[in-house]
Amino acid sequence: MYPPVSSSVSAEGGSASGGKFPEIEREILARWKQNKIFEQSLQRSGREMVFYDGPPFPTGAPHFGTIFVSILKDALARYFTMAGYSVPRRWGWDCHGLPIENAVEKKLGIGDKTQIEKQLGVAAFNNECRKLVADCNVAWESYINKIGRWVDYAHAYRTLDLPYMESVLWVFKQCYDQGLIYKDYRVTPYCYHCETSLSFSDIRESDSTRPRQDPEVIVRFKASDEVAGKPTWYLAWTTTPWTLTSNLVLAVGADFSYAAVEHAGSVYIMAEALVTKWAKLFGGKPYIVKIFAGSELLGRHYEPVFPYYRDLGAEGYFRILAADFVTLDDGVGVVHCAPAFGEDDYWLCKRHGLGVRNPVDARGCFTADIPEFAGQNVHEANKGVIRALKASGALMHHSTIEHNYPHCWRCRTPLIYRAMDAWYFAVDKIKDRLLKHNEEINWVPEHVKHGRFGKWLEGARDWNISRSRFWGTPIPVWECEAAGCGQRHVLGSLAEIKAAAGREFTDLHKEFLDEVVLKCPACGKPMRRVPEVLDCWFESGAMPFGQCHYPFENKDWFESHFPADFIVEYPGQIRGWFYYLHVLAVALLDRAAFKNCLVHGTLLAEDGGKISKSKKNFTDPMELMDRYGADALRLYLLGSSAVVMEDLNFKNAGVHDQIKQVLLPLWNAFSFFVTYANVDSYAGDPARQPESTHALDRWILAKLYRAEHEVGEAFKTFYLNRSLTPVTAFIEDLTNWYIRQSRARFWGGGLTPDKRQAYDTLYYALVTLLKLLAPSAPFVADYLYRQLTGEDSVHMATWPDVPDTYRNEALIEETAVAQTIVTLGLALRQKAGLRVRQPLPGIQVALPSSVDSGVVARQLDIIRNELNVKTVTLLADPGAVATLRATPNARVLGPKWGREVQAIIKAAKAGQVREEGDKIIVFEGQKEWTVDRQDIELSYQGKDGMDVMGDKGVLLALDKTLTPALREEGVANELNRIIQDLRKTAGYAVSDRIEMTLEGELDPAWRGHLQQLALAVSVELSEAEADATARETIEGRAFRVSIRKMTQA
RNA sequence: GGGCGUGUAGCUCAGUUGGUUAGAGCGCGUCCCUGAUAAGGACGAGGUCCCUGGUUCGACUCCAGGCACGCCCA
């Protein structure tokens, strides 16, 4: 006996009679927890499927994106578990780095780095970071739990743990020993609030490039060589006036053409192409006195606009150099270069043997080198700089522009480029191998391999791995403090540190490791650790090693768990985690870190805009799950193309649709089964595969076979959005064809052989369907599965292997023809205004030549039943109501006839064909083509005005002749509907016996039939005596029906 | 400016090695309760497959060039 099923399940709101999906989910969650289903599912035998979970920062609450990615990870893991793998899922936390430091600064009200170093102390600061990281897990856990994600949260790896950090040191040392790590003084993106350099990835984080208003100035530099005997100036354009203090050279494009423009007694040199654009500099009427090739200007000298480094002139500074970064897109075609503050500038000067002058300190303020602005922040100094330029006459133009400008991805401070010491990872050295091993990765969607990721690898540049900060794994390099000694020592393990320091360490953070002072083996002077910590991407990239404390522990485990079989993250990680995993894996092991990588897309608000908490343009996912349940949310997301890196405009209605389209029909099918199974005391056996001879059974099993293969394929290839279409299609087939057609088979008394076949089939179909749905809708699938099978959980079941014997494409096609006939018949009825309840004499059918006409006989009952007609026959003379239409198989005839095939197709479509034996002759004027019968399909198309309809080559004519007998049957059917309706509204049970009065003119035979159907005996009931009465006029005859429930005898 | 992706019904999206009548769901219109299912069902209307050119007997599909949008970067 199955637990009784409420037939009405509520999608939302409190329904008195039925459970709600969210309620079911809470119940299931409790059971999973209590019975440790997740833990059990990990104990399965079989090969492991290795999954790496990308660690989020434990700041704030999870957002829509993290929920989505969790659903994807969960669905895949559930599928692979059912497919026979053990899929350990270990959570991870990215605990270090600027995001955490910034949160702590904010909490403590810390304004700058010196406060941490001088007042608070590094140890106290790091302790605050530690505390913050420890608190944040609760919000995440409730979300992750609610969406049904199974993940080992309790044993999460954390990048701040001692073993993890030790592995990171080891990874660093491996790279260092390979010569992949070096220190260099060069220009890097720099945040003067965080007082650290950043990597190129940092400034490419999604939110880092933001609009900013900056001054736009054009200044003039006095040229040493006069043109036309007049004072001559080079013009240069910049949006960072403060860098003019440190200008050391000007750059031009050697291939560009430069104009000398005379104005007000002076001559100005700028790119010819831009003269018109800046005509206003020359009173609107530029007068060009001479044209130079850029190459002619090279090596010429000029005078700086500020005096601070003037004395460098003799050393070859303040010259015109050629550079390919000069463009004619904006500016004036002459670029002012301050090698301390521009990357291009830096490399240009370096190539020409010119040094750097950097008068900006770590806080982004001018040093004493620039006495006028010393102590001023560079951005704030812009105003004064411009004022000074104006005073000296150098300023030619000044306005404000808004442009996109890089900002610190965590503290939102505008970045500057600044020359400084930093540690680099020589990505360039291993670029070839990075590209080679990318070929081994299966990317989903495929285009990422040679698109985003491949292109990013091709353009990869050396990676700034050092941060001048506190909260991170310290860079384990000790340098001799003696000037010029240059000794370095790298410690790559706790043992090495112990040996060097003479004591144990239980924490490797900066405040502890900085205490370790070594003695220089070369000169005997102290060696101190370099101050920087590692970029947190280095740590998350080292996750395969760090999570298992490789190589200090778990060596065997590591070897069987590297590389990952699959990973899943959002597109931002193409330049982030995916990239750094790849870099470190290739550097250390010369192979890719993961075999399959699913890159999912972005969820946008309904209006297509970014999801934004401040705009409140979306509903909190928790609220959605409370309303509709997590299954519906999961189905919506998993079925969308957002799975494969497309954007999705998220609509709440989309979640609700899943209930209507998937969950409720499923529930109803289940409820149908249980209702009748309980009547017949049928108990399904999950191990039994049905062996039915009934065409409907074989048909639904053929559909099931097909669905299982499509769903399995979708999961195996990681295109899991393709896994749901076959499921919904199957549910549609099951409910609106199989069950609908099979109802009568379940009605009769007793468990007949045919009924047993029907039960076996429906049971097997339902159980299998729930397995197909289990990875995507784990709650409902488990709830129903348990009721059907009594087993612990669908998630412990193995993925269904629907046997080949159920495969039957021919039956599927044949049934499709019957479905077409039914659809056409219903359409014709509708057109004629004849409701299905009115029986009709028959339909006549013409089938295309490709269809075996036996289909009509085999599907006869279904067609008659659905269309309520007495006969289904083949049209004797289709030509009378329809035109012959021939559709050649162009795929075959094309190659055979070439150009002529178009004429053949045209003639054939026009019906210009005749049959000659097993050949078909297509003709057009004098021309004739002989075509093999199997290469052309003959069908009929209804003539206009005739009462026929056609679709997919099937033609159908409806005989609408109404005999008195048919009319009488129609009336009886109407009355039956009225009676059944009365019973239902009166609240009777299906089996209740009743007394009934039926007043009105009706054939006595039908009268008796109706009584039988209604379980009624005929008595005279006045309206007052009856429980319910209906009066209706049918075909001009007035009827009264009154019913009363019989009391139990 | 470059790279990658997308462009198919009012909306969200399918569309299999190119084959001649391009599909689904939602929405819309009309209709339907014969006992699993109205929180359903049937039927219907709705398309310049972004544009231009090319390849081909034949292009939504392949190629080139545009246009629009998104993401990433300069």
Q: How far is the CA of A602 from the C1' of B72 (A)?
A: 13
Average pLDDT value for residue range A556-573: 93
Region of poorest pLDDT, from A627-641, A753-767, A1004-1018: A1004-1018
Give A903 CA → B35 C1' in Å: 57
Chain length of chain A: 1049
CA–CA separation, A785 and A787 (whole Å): 5
Residue nearest to nucleotide B42 (CA to C1'): A826
A942: tokens are 């209804």
In this predicted structure, the answer to whether residue A7 has a pLDDT above a threshold of 60 is: no
pLDDT for A345-362, tens place per residue? 888 888 888 988 899 998
- In whole angstroms, what is the distance from residue A515 CA to residue A497 CA? 11
Minimum CA–C1' distance nucleotide for A670: B36
Among A868, A100, A960, residue whose Cα is nearest residue A539 = A100
**Among A758, A739, A745, A746, CA closest to A665:** A739
- Confidence check: pLDDT of A814 > 80: yes
Nucleotides of B under 7 A from a protein CB: 1, 3-6, 12-14, 17-21, 25-26, 30-44, 57-58, 70-74
How long is the CA A980 to C1' B36 vector, in angstroms? 16
Q: Please name the nucleotide lying closest to A736, CA to C1'.
A: B41
* Mean pLDDT, residues A89-95 taken together: 92
3-state secondary structure string, A508-543? CCHHHHCCCCEECCCCCCEEEECCCEECHHHHHHCH
Mean pLDDT, all residues of chain A: 88
Q: How far is the CA of A664 from the C1' of B12 (A)?
A: 21
Q: What percent of chain A has pLDDT over 70?
A: 96
Give CA–CA dist A151/A101, Å, rounded. Answer: 27
pLDDT at A12 over 60: no
Q: pLDDT tier at A996 (50, 70, 90 boundaries)?
A: confident
pLDDT, tens digit, 9 for 90 and up, residues A582-606: 999 999 999 999 999 999 998 888 8
A927, HSE (Cβ side, Cα atoms, 13 Å):
10
With a cut of 90, say whether residue A1034 has pLDDT above it: no
Q: A459-472 pLDDT, tens per residue?
A: 888 999 999 899 99
pLDDT of residue A128: 93
Q: Which element (helix H / strand E) includes A72? A: helix A64-82
| Nearest alpha-carbon partner for A224 in A315, A293, A320 | A320
Distance CA A385, CA A596 (A): 54
Its pTM stands at 0.88
Residue A173: name the closest of A558, A589, A476 by CA. Answer: A476
Distance A891 CA to B17 C1' (A): 12
Residue nearest to nucleotide B1 (CA to C1'): A329
Q: Which phi and psi angles does A959 have, rounded to 5°? A: -85, 115
pLDDT at A14 over 60: no
Separation of CA A895 and C1' B60 in angstroms? 22
Nearest nt to the A207 alpha carbon by C1': B72
From the number of C-beta atoms within 10 Å of its C-beta (0-12, 13-18, 19+), residue A32 rates as buried
pLDDT (tens digit, 9 = 90+) per residue, A201-248?
666 554 566 667 888 899 999 999 888 889 999 999 998 999 999 999
Q: Which nucleotide is nearest to A209 (CA to C1')?
A: B73
Confidence of residue A164 (pLDDT cuts 50, 70, 90): very high
List, by residue number, the catalytic residues of A.
55, 94, 537, 573, 577, 610, 613
3-state SS record for A945-978? CCCEEEECCEEEEEECCCCHHHHHHHHHHHHHHH
Instruction: Enter the ipTM.
Output: 0.94
CB A510 within 8 A of CB A130: no
A919 CA, B50 C1': separation in Å?
44
Alpha-helical (H) ranges within A859-912 are: 860-867, 878-881, 890-897, 901-909
pLDDT for A1048 equals 58
What is the rounded end-to-end Cα distance, in angstroms, of chain A?
28
The nucleotide lying nearest A653 (C-alpha to C1') is B26
CA distances from A223 to A220, A234, A329, A584, A615 (A): 9, 6, 24, 50, 54
Nearest nucleotide, CA A665 to C1': B37
Q: What is the pLDDT of residue A176?
A: 97
What's the Å distance between residue A288 CA and nucleotide B39 C1'?
79
pLDDT tens, position by position, A485-509: 889 999 999 999 999 999 999 999 9
> In this predicted model, what pLDDT tens digit does every residue of A419-435 receive, in sequence order?
889 999 999 999 999 99
pLDDT at A122: 94
Percent of chain A exceeding pLDDT 90 equals: 43
Q: Which nucleotide has the least CA–C1' distance to A902?
A: B57
